[in-house]
């Protein structure tokens, strides 16, 4: 939910490392290029929610919108298997 700081501490991350620093949406949105890489079937459901979902509270990756940069997704077939337009022929591709 950070709106100002470019990085933020995460003292109690559920995944290792327990204490870490993370990039925030303001930093990602100010980037010239953002690349998300996802592979494997275990990512398919989350990717469908991120790329095609219309959730009231979207997942963080769904909120990344570079103001003057490019946002790209690099997915393998298994990660993209639940997408309606996995070939990237839809809007914004």
pLDDT tens profile 2-15: 899 999 999 999 98
Give the pLDDT score at 85: 74
Give the pLDDT score at 9: 94
Beta bridge partners of 36: 73
**Is the peptide bond prior to 48 cis by the omega test (within 30 degrees of 0)?**
no
Rounded CA separation 92/49 (Å): 17
Six-digit token pair at 4?
A: 């100002």
**Residue 86 pLDDT class (50, 70, 90 cuts):** low
Give the pLDDT score at 2: 87
pLDDT tens profile 10-62: 999 998 999 999 999 999 999 999 999 999 999 999 999 999 988 999 999 99
Three-state SS sequence of 43-67: HHHHHHHHHHCCCCCCCHHHHCCCC
Rounded CA separation 54/45 (Å): 14
């Amino acid at each position: 939910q950070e709106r100002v700081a470019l990085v933020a501490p995460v003292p109690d991350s559920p995944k290792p490392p327990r204490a870490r620093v993370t990039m925030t949406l303001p930093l990602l949105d100010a980037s010239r290029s953002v690349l998300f890489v996802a592979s494997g079937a275990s990512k398919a459901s989350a990717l469908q929610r991120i790329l095609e979902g219309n959730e009231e509270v979207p997942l963080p990756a769904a909120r990344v919108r570079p103001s003057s940069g490019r946002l790209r997704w690099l997915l393998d077939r298994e990660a993209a298997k639940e997408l309606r337009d996995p070939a990237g022929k839809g809007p914004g591709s």
